[in-house]
Amino acid sequence: MRVLLLGGGGREHALAWKLAQSPLLTALFAAPGNPGIEAHAQCRAIDPTKPDAVVDLVRAERIDLLVVGPEAPLVAGVADAVRALGVPVFGPQAAAARIEGSKAFAKEIMEAAGVPTARAQVFRDVEAAASAAAKGGPVVVKADGLAAGKGVVVADSGAEAAEAVRALGRLPAGERLLLEERLSGPELSVMALCDGERAVLLPPSQDHKRLLDGDQGPNTGGMGAYAPARLLSDDALEAVRREVMLPTLRELARRGTPFRGALYAGLMLTPQGPRVLEFNARLGDPETQVLMMQTADDLLPLLLAAANGALVDRPLTGRLGASVGIVLAAPGYPEAPRTGQPIAGLGGPFPEGTLVFHAGTRRVDGQVVTSGGRVLTVCARAESVAAARAEALEAAARVQFEGRQYRQDIAARAP
């Protein structure tokens, strides 16, 4: 099969690495890719959010399956344009991708589907939202649209919430704002491969959003993850599939927008049971990096079956121990990352079972340099989370660039 993978981050590097292992693959292309993806795919320098450019590439390279990594191409309608050619796409149509592109729409879907979630108010007027926020106590403030993982503020007071409302209201994503009930409990990422009707769960994982050790500092797109996160029993995870994933798929299908792709439920495990904090319409980053390392199944036939509406309703067949991923971020991230620093140590030596996935990198005169906020994800697989964490930390220390930031406590509290 000839496969085109859209995206150029750490998630896409991990997907390219995994897809390249499939005996079904005859050619892999990536757009735009990155220096790490180049080892597995032929990279093409096109804008993946432009449907016409992607359609031209699909035709030129006789693509059999399009795999969409990030959310922006989905919201832009790239999946719709390629499906119109008759080419299978792993990634939902734009109307279904609104479940990530609009938090207000996601709440509407959850309410209609009976999915347990936090109570929320939606505002179009910033000052009305700020006034309501100032009168309350702890609350979560969310921008309605896509904000690269930075559109959520957990406020401890009414004054802090009002300030967050005004800050998020200045973002392009902040045309509408949500004030959401603040829940408490550990968070869990549960992702499923979906074919419009059926959902096959990937192992549960846990992301670490805050910049600094001890869950301190500002929110980021994710500073590390581990899998499997054994915070729910197998029976409880199956309940999440039945009570969260499947009702959501049924509601989207009822509206004429069947969801074929990866549905990501960000859960909070409250004393009253799991509650959905948000839905994403794609695989998570950095969770995908650790999931690809510990999933034994051939990924390509699974993605093709999901794209064709033909998933077999069964669990994945194998897991390979535990995996931990640590993000190396640029100096100044997340507010104002500084880029262009040469990266040393990418060749190791690293402990066995360790991989470095590229995210914000590019090649300048043969040298790999930083080009984004989250630069690399250093991942390790071992028999236990603790062993994988130790190996990931050892490898992370060997990769050097000026001002690099990374957390030392990723997975430290894993059960």
Question: For 134-173, how does the pLDDT look when each residue is reduced to its tens digit (9 = 90+)?
Answer: 877 788 888 888 776 678 888 888 887 887 888 888 888 8
**Contacts with 43 (C-beta within 8 Å, 6 or more apart), sequence order:** 29, 30, 31, 32, 33, 34, 37
What CATH architecture does domain 119-180 belong to? 2-Layer Sandwich (3.30)
The strand pairing partners of 370, in sequence order, are: 361
CATH 3.30.470.20 residue spans of the chain:
187-398
Alpha-carbon 108 to chain mean position: 22
Span 68-85, average pLDDT: 95
Q: Coil, helix or strand for 334?
A: coil
pLDDT tens-digit map of 83-117? 999 999 999 999 999 999 899 999 999 999 999 99
CA 396/CA 222 separation, integer angstroms: 16
pLDDT tens-digit map of 284-315? 999 999 999 988 899 999 999 999 999 998 88
- Apex CA 242: angle with CA 237 and CA 245, to 5°? 90
**Contacts with 104 (C-beta within 8 Å, 6 or more apart), sequence order:** 122, 144, 176, 178
Q: Coil, helix or strand for 344?
A: strand
CA 277/CA 290 separation, integer angstroms: 22
Span 405-413, average pLDDT: 97
Range in 61-75, 116-130, 377-391 the model is least confident about: 116-130
- Name the average pLDDT for the chain: 93
CA 96/CA 281 separation, integer angstroms: 8
Span 184-195, average pLDDT: 95
Q: For domain 187-398, which CATH number applies: 3.90.226.10, 3.10.20.30, 3.20.20.70, 3.30.470.20?
A: 3.30.470.20
CATH 3.40.50.20 residue spans of the chain:
2-91
Task: Please tell us whether the domain made up of 2-91 is placed in CATH 3.40.50.20.
Answer: yes
CATH 3.30.1490.20 residue spans of the chain:
119-180
